[in-house]
Amino acid sequence: MKALILNSGRGTRMGNPGRPKCMTPISENETILSRQLNMLAEHGITEIVMTTGAMEKELVRYTDELDLPLHIISVYNPEYAHTNYIYSIYCARAYLCDDDILLMHGDLVFDETVLNDVLRSRESCMTVSSTAELPEKDFKAVIRDGYIQAVGIEFFDNAAAAQPLYLLRRDDWAQWLQMIVTYCESGDPAKRSCYAEHALNELPDKHIVPLDVKNRLCAEIDNPQDLEKVTAALKRLSQRTVYMCFSTDIIHSAHIVLIRHAVRLGRLMIGVMTDEVVCSYKRFPLMPFAERKAMFEQIAGVEFVIPQDSLSYQDILIHFEPDIVVHGDDWTQGVQRPIRDEVTAILAGYGGMLVEYPYREDAGLAALENRAAQHLSMPDMRRRRLKQAMAMKGLVSAIEAHSGLTGLIAEKTVVYQDGAARQFDAMWISSLCDSAAKGKPDIGLVDMTSRFRTVDDIMEVTTKPIIFDGDSGGLAEHFVYTVRTLERMGVSMVIIEDKTGLKKNSLFGTEVTQTQAPIAEFCEKIRAGKQAQKTSDFMICARIESLILEKGLLDALTRASAYVKAGADAIMIHSRKRDPAEIFAFVNAFRASDTVTPLVVVPTAFNTVTEEEFKKRGVNIVIYANQLIRSGFPAMQHAAEMILTHHRALECDEICMPFQEIIRLIPEE
């Protein structure tokens, strides 16, 4: 698309200030022309054809001095004193072929939102105002059946006030330009000194729709009174409050373009999503909230930066009532759509406006995101993130993963609900599921080398922090090696249970023989582990089996306090009762004397309790310890039975993922 700016006129009604009219200042730092050119540059329109006439040299020098990233072709109309802009366009015709044209008069000042609407119009359009009074002497457009039929100063019936700002799609423009050429080459001097719209009106099929700007600024400056009005209007516009929100920690060119547009609309306030919201919605932020806030504060034109602590804009809009909300048009579809709908409804309630701009993601962003993911999966980055996530969110959730594939489910599953997004914060490498996936019982049979192999498979394809089920930790002399290996790999936490002898899964409870370790012996193991670790990020969590083995609350509390004294970074309390009463009793009693040590629960049996309830009671980590393998196994068994029943795979297909999907499930890099 090219812009055509008509600047050949003499502007005699402005008095004689000794400069072309388009160089008239309209605000502290802009002239009519500099504003037009800046706005075009901001919208990525870089090819400009400008017709000139009176004071051509001053004008060309001025545009050079503006030093904008534009390619401006100036076309002089030698007959400017005796002709109208129809002849200027004729002079410039060679530069105006085979393209969409944004046509504007050089004395036109319009609001940024008007230009945005014009540029987003799919059809050719001309700006009109259904609310402005019909002007005596200026342009009016006759509108019939939704299209512009004629433009001129002489029409009053079926007409609306019109302004010479057009977007002309290639074919519509070609017809008009052809008629302009016919006029100018007719030999009739009257046809060179009339409005170019006379030629337009002769075209039988015009496909130009009226774009109603209503009360928005879109006005020509013909005389000092017009100038006064426009200057005052621009001042008012510059006081509008504008709101945008960002969740990103990588600012790319598309963000900068959006911010530039928003700055032009008024006083820009930026909302930066808090770490907690970002974590639940996309990958873990590379920079914490404070750094992301500082980053936006440095951008020219940004007046305030505030936290937005929800995906929903509701609280901010109700509190600040910004005149305008700006967003890229990427949210008109997909998961962000309900948020957009809510914004639109709230804005409508108080007369605010939503302004959307085309959003084109930077071509290099995918590569940058890929690098960010690789960065987040590095051991140092991954290890510390469990502590960071707990600090940010208070309560984190972890789901079991026992393979690369289940790791991907833990990594990528997101649910959008009531304007919020939810995903798991961490992964649990369960001894039960790791063993079950290998068809083995959960009795410490799968050795550590094999367990580490599972961790490695998962780490290769994920970035989320890992909590490792260390069973009883084995002998203290062996546990120190486990700690060092897990820490080096980038695991965030190992949980060891206070059992001794042949380990059996806790969910058997007292149905099998299980022995709890003496307190002193288990404390010694914790101390040995803590001495072995190298970083302050790695955590050793002591798991108390007193409730599983029906030793009572007091035993559990005594052990908890001893384990914390021995250096445990967190306490896991386990129970196999459906009724959460004993878990709640422990949490309440523990929190009465220890408000800081993180508490971990595994609600396999007491699964009616929500994360919100656990958080309220002071729990910090909720582990969903076996749900993926428990749901996967019956689904696979059912498929196998269907094939056996029907002697073929046809019937089983309906419960299977299409094979096209499985081959695309894991994209190659």
Q: Which stretch binds ligand SPV (CB under 6 A): 169-177, 427-435, 472-480, 639-647?
A: 427-435
Looking up tokens 């309630």 gives 349
Under the binding rule (CB under 5 A), the answer on residue 469 touching Mg ion is yes
Residues 61-80 that bind Mg ion (CB under 5 A): none
**C-alpha distances in Å from residue 3, one per residue of 45, 66, 437, 645:** 7, 17, 65, 70
* Given 111, 442, 498, 569, the catalytic residue: 442
| Residue 86 · residue 73 · CB < 8 Å | no
Binding mask 438-477 for ligand SPV (x = CB under 6 A): ----x--------------------------x--------
Which of Mg ion, ligand SPV, none does 83 bind, CB closer than 5 to 8 A by kind?
Answer: none
Is residue 100 flagged as an active site residue?
Answer: no
**By three-state DSSP, how is residue 600 classified?**
strand
CB of 442 to Mg ion, least distance (A): 6
Residue from the set 24, 51, 604, 620 that interacts with ligand SPV by CB under 6 A: 604
CB of 247 to ligand SPV, least distance (A): 33
Under the binding rule (CB under 6 A), the answer on residue 66 touching ligand SPV is no
CA separation for the pair 669, 371 (Å, rounded): 12
CB of 604 to ligand SPV, least distance (A): 5
Helices 379-393 and 476-489, interaxial angle, to 10°? 90
| DSSP assignments along 320-389, one per residue | H--SEEEEEGGGGSGGGHHHHHHHHHHHHHHT-EEEEE-----TTHHHHHHHHHHHHTSHHHHHHHHHHH
The residue at minimum Cβ distance from ligand SPV is 430
Residue 314, classified by CB atoms within 10 Å of its CB into exposed (0-12), middle (13-18) or buried (19+), is: middle
Which of Mg ion, ligand SPV, none does 36 bind, CB closer than 5 to 8 A by kind?
Answer: none
Residues 316-375 that bind ligand SPV (CB under 6 A): none
Pick 248 or 546: Cβ nearer ligand SPV: 546
Pick 403 or 431: Cβ nearer Mg ion: 431
Q: Are strands 124-129 and 30-31 parallel, antiparallel or unpaired?
A: unpaired
CB of 383 to ligand SPV, least distance (A): 21
Torsions phi, psi for 216 (to 5 deg): -70, 155
Give the list of residues 6+ apart from residue 94 with CB closer than 8 angstroms, or none.
Answer: none
Pick 112 or 497: Cβ nearer Mg ion: 497
CB of 414 to Mg ion, least distance (A): 27
**By three-state DSSP, how is residue 494 classified?**
strand
Under the binding rule (CB under 6 A), the answer on residue 506 touching ligand SPV is yes
Count residues near Mg ion (CB under 5 A): 3
- What tokens does 434 get? 């790791």
Under the binding rule (CB under 6 A), the answer on residue 602 touching ligand SPV is yes
Pick 627 or 645: Cβ nearer ligand SPV: 627
Pick 175 or 506: Cβ nearer ligand SPV: 506
Residue 263, classified by CB atoms within 10 Å of its CB into exposed (0-12), middle (13-18) or buried (19+), is: buried
Count residues near ligand SPV (CB under 6 A): 12
Q: Which stretch binds Mg ion (CB under 5 A): 40-48, 193-201, 461-469, 547-555?
A: 461-469
Under the binding rule (CB under 6 A), the answer on residue 546 touching ligand SPV is no
Under the binding rule (CB under 6 A), the answer on residue 507 touching ligand SPV is yes
Residue from the set 625, 628, 629, 642 that interacts with ligand SPV by CB under 6 A: 625
Pick 243 or 468: Cβ nearer ligand SPV: 468
**By three-state DSSP, how is residue 226 classified?**
helix
Residue from the set 430, 472, 533, 597 that interacts with ligand SPV by CB under 6 A: 430
Residue from the set 159, 272, 343, 432 that interacts with ligand SPV by CB under 6 A: 432
Torsions phi, psi for 325 (to 5 deg): -110, 130
CA separation for the pair 192, 195 (Å, rounded): 8
Q: Which stretch binds ligand SPV (CB under 6 A): 28-36, 117-125, 158-166, 425-433?
A: 425-433
Torsions phi, psi for 281 (to 5 deg): -115, -40
Give the list of residues 6+ apart from residue 268 with CB closer than 8 angstroms, or none.
Answer: 242, 243, 244, 259, 262, 301, 302, 303
Residues 376-405 that bind ligand SPV (CB under 6 A): none
| Residue 489 · residue 382 · CB < 8 Å | no
Residues 416-435 that bind Mg ion (CB under 5 A): 431-432
Which of Mg ion, ligand SPV, none does 275 bind, CB closer than 5 to 8 A by kind?
Answer: none
Which of Mg ion, ligand SPV, none does 604 bind, CB closer than 5 to 8 A by kind?
Answer: ligand SPV
CA separation for the pair 329, 357 (Å, rounded): 6
CA separation for the pair 148, 564 (Å, rounded): 79
Q: Which stretch binds ligand SPV (CB under 6 A): 186-194, 289-297, 505-513, 640-648?
A: 505-513
Residue from the set 626, 628, 629, 642 that interacts with ligand SPV by CB under 6 A: 626
Q: Please, which residues bridge with residue 65 across strands?
A: none
Per the rule left: phi > 0, alpha: psi between -120 and 50, beta: everything else, 486 is alpha
Under the binding rule (CB under 6 A), the answer on residue 575 touching ligand SPV is no
**By three-state DSSP, how is residue 72 classified?**
strand
Q: List residues near Mg ion by CB under 5 A.
A: 431-432, 469
Q: List residues near ligand SPV by CB under 6 A.
A: 430-432, 442, 469, 505-507, 602, 604, 625-626
Which sequence positions are flagged as catalytic? 442
